[in-house]
Chain A
Amino acid sequence: MTAAVGAAPGAVLHGVGVGRRTAVGPVVQVRPAPAPAADAPLLVDGAPAGPEQVRAAVGQAFTDVADALQAQSDRSSGTVKEVLAATAQMAADPALRTGVLARLDAGEPPVAAIDAVVDKFAAMFEQAGGYLAERVTDLRSVRDRVVARAMGLPAPGVPELTRPSVVVARDLAPADTAALDLANVLAIVTELGGPTGHTAIIAGQLGLPCLVRVTGATDLPEGVEVAVDSATSTVTVDPDDELRAALARRAATERVFEEDTAPGATADGHPVQLLANIGTAEDAQRVAPQPVQGVGLFRTEVLFLERSTAPTRKEQAETYAVVLRALGERKVVVRTLDAGADKPLTFATQPDEENPALGVRGYRQVRTHPELLDTQLAALADAQRETGTTPWVMAPMIATVDEAREFAARARAAGVATVGVMVEVPSAALRAEQLLAEVDFVSLGTNDLAQYTMATDRLRGELADLLDPWQPAVLDLVAVTARAGVTLGKPVGVCGESAADPLMALVLVGLGVTSLSMSAGAVAAVRYAVRHHTLERCREMAAAALAARSAEEGRAAVVGLLVDEVRATLG
Chain B
Amino acid sequence: MAERTVTVASRVGLHARPAMLFTQAVAAGGTPVTIATEGGLPVDASSILLVMSLGVPCGAQVILAAEGPKADEVLDGLVDLLSRDLDAPEATS
A:194-228 near B, CB below 8 Å: none
Q: What's the least CB distance linking B88 to chain A, in Å?
A: 7
Inter-chain contact A94/B87, CB cutoff 8 Å: no
CB of B11 to closest CB in A, whole Å: 7
Knowing A89-B20, A309-B88, A309-B91 are in contact, say whether A128-B48 is a contact too (CB < 8 A).
no
* Contact call B89/A95, Cβ cutoff below 8 A: no
Contact A347 B48 (CB under 8 A): no
Q: Interface 1/0s, chain A 31-47, versus B by CB < 8 A?
A: 00000000000000000
A270 CB to nearest chain B CB (Å): 48
Contacts of B24 in A (CB 8 A): 89
A312 to B17, CA, bound (A): 18
B60 interface residue (CB < 8 Å to A): no
Complex interface: chain A residues within 8 A of B88 (CB): 309
* Contact of A346 with B49 at beta-carbon distance under 8 Å, contacts A308-B87, A309-B88 already known: no
B12 in contact (CB, < 8 A): yes
Name the CB-closest residue of B to A347. B87
**B44 interface residue per 8 A CB criterion:** yes
Complex CA gap A94/B23 in Å reads 11
CA of A227 to CA of B21, assembled, Å:
48
- The reply to whether B16 and A308 contact each other, CB–CB distance below 8 Å, is yes
Answer yes or no: A71 CB below 8 A from chain B CBs: no
Establish whether residues B17 and A346, one from each chain, have CB atoms under 8 Å apart when the complex forms: yes
Write the nearest CB–CB distance from A84 to chain B, whole angstroms. Answer: 13
Say yes or no: A93 contacts B89, CB within 8 Å.
no
Taking CB atoms, residues of chain A closer than 8 Å to B48 are: 89-90, 93
Which B residues are CB-close (under 8 A) to A346?
12, 15-17, 87
| Contact of A312 with B49 in the complex, beta carbons under 8 Å | no
Using known A-B contacts A121-B53, A309-B91, determine if residue A93 contacts B16 with beta carbons closer than 8 Å: no
A95 touches B55 (CB 8 A): no
| B7 on interface, CB distance cutoff 8 Å | no
Contact at A95–B87, with CB atoms within 8 Å? no
- Asked if A563 is an interface residue, CB under 8 A from chain B, the answer is no
Residue of A nearest to B89 (CB): A309
Chain B residues with CB below 8 A from A139, complex form: 49
Determine whether B43 belongs to the interface, using a CB cutoff of 8 Å to chain A. Answer: yes
Cβ of A252 within 8 Å of any chain B Cβ, yes or no, is: no
User: Which residue on A lies nearest to B53, using beta carbons?
Assistant: A124
A94 lies within 8 A of B44 (CB): yes
Complex Cα distance A346/B91, Å? 15
Contacts of B11 in A (CB 8 A): 347
Q: Which of A86, A128, A307 touches B20 (beta carbons < 8 Å)?
A: A86
Q: Mark B81-93, 1 if CB is under 8 A from A, else 0.
A: 0000001110110
Q: Chain B nearest CB: distance from A557 CB in Å? A: 51
**Number of residue pairs spanning A and B whose beta carbons lie under 8 angstroms apart:** 57
Residues in chain B near residue A131, CB distance under 8 A: 12, 15-16
Kindly report which residue of chain B lies nearest to residue A96, judged by CB atoms. Answer: B49
8 A Cβ contacts from B11-30 to A:
11-12, 15-17, 20, 23-24
Known contacts A128-B55, A312-B89: A95-B17 contact under CB 8 Å: no
Interface band, chain B? 20 to 34
- What's the nearest-Cβ distance from chain A to residue B17, in Å? 4
CA separation between A6 and B47, bound complex, in Å?
A: 45
Residue of A nearest to B91 (CB): A309
Interchain CB contact under 8 A, B12 and A95: no
What are the residues of chain A within 8 A of B92 when measuring CB–CB? Answer: 307-309
CB neighbours (8 Å) of A347 from chain B are: 11-12, 87
From A96, A132, A309, A310, B15 is in contact (CB under 8 Å) with: A132
Are A309 and B87 in contact (CB-based, < 8 A)? Answer: yes
Quick one: closest A residue to B27, CB to CB?
A: A94
Bound together, the chains give a CA A96 to CA B43 distance in angstroms of 12
A33–B70 Cα distance when bound, in Å, is 44
Whether A95 lies near B47 (C-beta < 8 A) is yes
Say how far B45's CB is from chain A's closest CB, in angstroms: 10
> With the chains together, A469 CA to B53 CA distance in Å?
42
Q: How would residues 495 to 520 of chain A score, 1 for a CB under 8 Å from any chain B CB and 0 otherwise?
A: 00000000000000000000000000
* Whole-angstrom CA separation of A532 from B23 in the bound complex: 63
For the complex, give the distance between the alpha carbons of A459 and B2 in Å.
Answer: 50
The yes or no answer to A135 lying at the interface (CB within 8 A) is: yes
Q: How far is the CB of B35 from chain A (nearest CB, A)?
A: 12
Contacts of B87 in A (CB 8 A): 308-309, 346-347
**Which residue of A90, A308, A309, A310 contacts B49 across the interface (Cβ within 8 Å)?**
A90
CB distance from A96 to the nearest CB of B (A): 6
Question: Is the CB of B52 closer than 8 A to any CB of chain A?
Answer: yes
Of residues 43 through 93 on chain B, the ones whose CB sits less than 8 Å from some CB of chain A are 43-44, 46-50, 52-53, 55, 87-89, 91-92
Residue among A90, A95, A128, A139 with most chain B CB within 10 A: A95
- In the bound complex, CA of A128 to CA of B13 (Å): 13
From B15, B46, B49, residue with most partner A Cβ within 10 Å: B49
Chain A residue nearest to B32 in the complex (CB):
A94
Kindly provide the distance from the CB of A57 to the nearest chain B CB, expressed in whole angstroms.
22
A125 part of interface (Cβ distance < 8 Å): yes
Asked whether A93 lies within 8 Å of B49 as measured between CB atoms, the reply is yes
Give the residues in chain A near B46, CB-CB below 8 Å. 94
In the docked arrangement, what's the CA distance between A308 and B88, Å?
9
Q: Is the CB of A135 within 8 A of B52?
A: yes
For residue B24, give the distance in angstroms from its CB to the closest CB of chain A. 8
Give the residues from 16 to 73 in chain A that come closer than 8 angstroms, CB to CB, to chain B: none
A124 to B51, CA, bound (A): 12
Residues on A facing B (Cβ under 8 Å): 86, 89-90, 93-96, 121, 124-125, 128, 131-132, 135, 139, 307-310, 312, 346-347
Beyond the given A86-B20, A94-B46, A95-B49, please list 7 additional residue pairs across the A-B interface where CB-CB is below 8 A: A90-B49, A124-B53, A125-B53, A308-B16, A309-B88, A309-B91, A347-B11
Contact sample, A vs B, 30 pairs, CB 8 Å cutoff: A89-B20, A89-B24, A90-B49, A93-B48, A93-B49, A94-B44, A94-B47, A95-B43, A95-B47, A96-B49, A125-B52, A128-B55, A131-B12, A131-B15, A131-B16, A132-B52, A132-B55, A135-B52, A308-B16, A308-B87, A308-B92, A309-B87, A309-B88, A309-B89, A309-B91, A309-B92, A310-B89, A346-B17, A346-B87, A347-B87
